[in-house]
């Protein structure tokens, strides 16, 4: 008998133990510095060279690119290695699920990756580390080396659409899974949050692990308020044992 598919929607709360702050929590980045949101808003970024300069400095100083996976990331990868079919749908851009051992083809990055850059004119892509090396060398706003266009992080900024192919794959997984865990996400940002309802509507067992209440708590089979670093490994071990027992 095939083992049930487990889908995990991961938000910023999954990476806070790795030293990456969340955005909308009580101490989140947007609450502490509302101006910071402009640095990742497409319209402001494209229009204002000073916003771009500040954005590049923010990336240069960010811990996110140097962060290491934590217990939650490792637990997800361990479940996948045990033979349970696992798919990760992540709102995070830090690449820590892959760093922990999840195969890249089993991770859908809804909001792109902070480890790459893309040209807004010719759409050429390259490594973030190369662009940051140019910033370190004194370029305030490094242009595309191919066409001179504006470079940006290969992440989905506010005001940009999600990649329709990635989103379509995420919807398909949400419809097909038997267990759907929403972990460390406020479930307030759509369309990502709506995947939770899609999974529940298609019969998945819905588990929400988050410090704060979410709009989907009322339809969840289980809501966990414990710290993610301990709660998620325990939940995934229980899921793994249940599938070994055929339950």
Please answer whether residues 80 and 103 qualify as being in contact, where contact means their C-beta atoms are separated by less than 8 angstroms: yes
pTM of the predicted model as reported, rounded to 2 decimal places: 0.90
Please answer whether residues 23 and 29 qualify as being in contact, where contact means their C-beta atoms are separated by less than 8 angstroms: yes
Q: Average the pLDDT over 33-53 and give the result.
A: 89
Q: Which domains does the chain have, with CATH numbers?
A: 1-19+69-111+162-247 (3.40.50.1220), 21-62+112-155 (3.30.1600.10)
Q: Average the pLDDT over 52-79 and give the result.
A: 93
Whether 111 is a known active-site residue: answer yes
Q: Two tokens at 231? A: 């709660």
Would you place residue 247 in the very low, low, confident or very high pLDDT band (cuts 50, 70, 90)?
A: very low
Q: Average the pLDDT over 145-156 and give the result.
A: 97
Say whether pLDDT at 244 is over 70.
no
Say whether pLDDT at 64 is over 70.
yes
The pLDDT of residue 2: 66
**What are the DSSP calls for 147-207, one per residue?**
T-PBEEEEE--BTSPPPHHHHHHHHHHHHH-SEEEEES--S-STTTTHHHHHHHHTT-EEE
The pLDDT of residue 112: 96
Closest of 125, 103, 104 to residue 116, by C-alpha? 125
Say whether pLDDT at 32 is over 80.
no
Say whether pLDDT at 145 is over 90.
yes
The pLDDT of residue 231: 96
Say whether pLDDT at 31 is over 70.
no
**Is 24 strand, coil or helix?**
coil
- Where helices occur in the chain by DSSP H, the ranges are 29-32, 42-47, 49-61, 71-81, 96-99, 128-136, 164-176, 194-201, 228-244
Q: Dump pLDDT digits (tens) for 98-138.
A: 999 999 999 999 999 999 999 999 999 999 999 999 999 99
More confidently predicted of 27 and 221: 221
Please answer whether residues 204 and 177 qualify as being in contact, where contact means their C-beta atoms are separated by less than 8 angstroms: yes
The pLDDT of residue 20: 87
Would you place residue 189 in the very low, low, confident or very high pLDDT band (cuts 50, 70, 90)?
A: confident
The pLDDT of residue 26: 47
Say whether pLDDT at 82 is over 50.
yes
The CA radius of gyration of the chain, in Å to the nearest whole number, is: 19
Catalytic residue among 97, 111, 115, 123: 111
The pLDDT of residue 117: 97
């Amino acid at each position: 008998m095939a083992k049930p598919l487990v889908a995990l929607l991961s938000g910023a709360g999954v990476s806070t133990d790795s030293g990456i702050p969340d955005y909308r929590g009580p101490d989140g980045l947007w609450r502490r510095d509302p101006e910071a949101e402009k640095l990742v808003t497409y319209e402001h970024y494209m229009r204002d060279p000073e916003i771009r300069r500040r954005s590049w400095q923010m990336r240069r100083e960010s811990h996110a690119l140097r962060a290491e996976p934590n217990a939650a990331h490792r637990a997800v990868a361990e479940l996948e290695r045990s033979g349970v079919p696992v798919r990760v749908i992540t709102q995070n851009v830090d690449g820590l699920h892959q760093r922990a051992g999840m195969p890249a083809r089993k991770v859908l990055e809804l909001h792109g990756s902070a480890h790459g850059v893309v040209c807004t004119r010719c759409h050429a892509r390259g490594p973030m580390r190369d662009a940051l090396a140019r910033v370190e060398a004194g370029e305030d706003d490094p242009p595309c080396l191919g066409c001179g266009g504006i470079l940006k992080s290969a992440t989905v900024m506010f005001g940009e659409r999600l990649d329709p192919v990635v989103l379509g794959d995420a919807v398909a997984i949400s419809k097909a899974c038997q267990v759907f865990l929403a972990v460390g996400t406020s479930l307030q940002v759509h369309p990502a949050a709506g995947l939770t309802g899609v999974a529940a509507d298609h019969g998945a067992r819905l588990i929400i692990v988050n410090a704060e209440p979410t709009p989907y708590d009322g339809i969840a089979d289980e809501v966990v308020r414990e710290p993610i670093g301990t709660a998620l490994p325990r939940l995934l071990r229980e899921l793994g044992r249940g599938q070994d027992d055929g339950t």
